[in-house]
Amino acid sequence: MRRVKGKSGPLARRPDNSAFKQQRLPAWSPMLTANTVLPFFYLMALLCMLLGVWLLLTVQSTQELKIDYTEADTCDKCFEKRKNVSNAGESCNCKVEFFLKKPFKGDVFFYYALQNFHQNLRRYMDSRDDGQMVGRKKNLRNPSSYCEPFTKDQNGLPIAPCGAVANSMFNDSFILIYHASSRPSVKVPLLRRGITWYTDKNVKYRNPKVDNLTLAQVFDGTAKPLYWQKPAYRLDPVDPNNNGFINDDLIVWMREAAFPNFKKLYGVLYSASNPFTVGLPAGRYSIEISYNFPVQHFQGRKAVVLTTLTWFGGQNHFLPIAYLVTSSLILLIAVILTAVWWKFGKDGKNMEE
């Protein structure tokens, strides 16, 4: 603290007598009058209205179809079967049919959706080992205590990947089939790679590297999560480069959702072959489902979502409606202020007591 020479007490703490420290710098102090405030209110109302209408038209240009398959068609038997935890290791397949009235043109994205699944619980979000997921060898054998009670199996083997997030990974699988009237039924090709963020796939998630050892040998001595049907190194039996901690489905699931109702990307339409070169044609479709993920224990629902996207994303009406509501409120305030100003006059004489 600066002390003024020869002075003590309050004078020693007094700021310098300068324009900056005494707040005497020149400043612009606008006079708020009706002629300046009211046009600003009307301009902001018009701007928010235009943005709201523009975003609403953009959102409505997307196409979306949501199919709840929790107990639909033949999936009801699988729903009942999954109520018993002891049947978790047994497979159950079902089929759901639907009809597209209009073709989905452009890029089509296939999502799975869950309701009432709270990935945003703090204890759940912390139940993971980021050091293990980034490929550190010591974390592979000695998982973090944050993963408790999903660190070791009943035989004492370390779980890889450990934690509640990985243990609860969504494991239903889907095959989309198009039933054309003039040709045999054909499987809709879905791209199941490249659905993750670049930083996740190449930086945040890596497999442990050990010279001259296969991925299965690297994971030898570890156990799969309790509710998994396959170990991490066999998640994708077709593509060996999509196994372990760099599996696309695992990475997508490990990015926790902020709300209890969410959807996650499962695949993207591969539009290089007929009749899907311009999107999904109208007609009859079916989805063959490997029904593995139980939802009864948290009173949830499962669905698949087919949607097209724009630069704004998918069908989300929150922001357009928010802009329109804000525009209406600003316009209402502007009208009230205009009426008050008009009633009491420009000179303000009628506001005197």
**Section 41-56 average pLDDT:** 95
**Section 86-114 average pLDDT:** 88
Structural domain spans, the chain: 37-62+320-353, 66-309
pLDDT at position 26, please? 84
- Sign of the Cα torsion 248, 249, 252, 256 reads negative
Quote the CA–CA distance of 201 and 231 in Å, as a whole number: 19
pLDDT at position 284, please? 94
Mean pLDDT of the chain: 88
Q: What are 200-224's pLDDT values in tens digits?
A: 998 999 998 877 888 888 998 899 9
Q: What are 247-301's pLDDT values in tens digits?
A: 999 999 999 999 999 999 999 999 888 889 999 999 999 999 999 998 988 899 9
The pLDDT confidence band at residue 345, using thresholds 50, 70 and 90, is low
Predicted model pTM: 0.81
Ranking 3-7, 150-154, 230-234, 341-345 by mean pLDDT, the lowest is 3-7
Quote the CA–CA distance of 173 and 176 in Å, as a whole number: 10
Q: How many CB atoms lie within 10 A of CB 69?
A: 25
**Section 143-168 average pLDDT:** 92
Q: What are 121-139's pLDDT values in tens digits?
A: 999 999 999 999 999 989 9
Radius of gyration of the chain (CA): 30
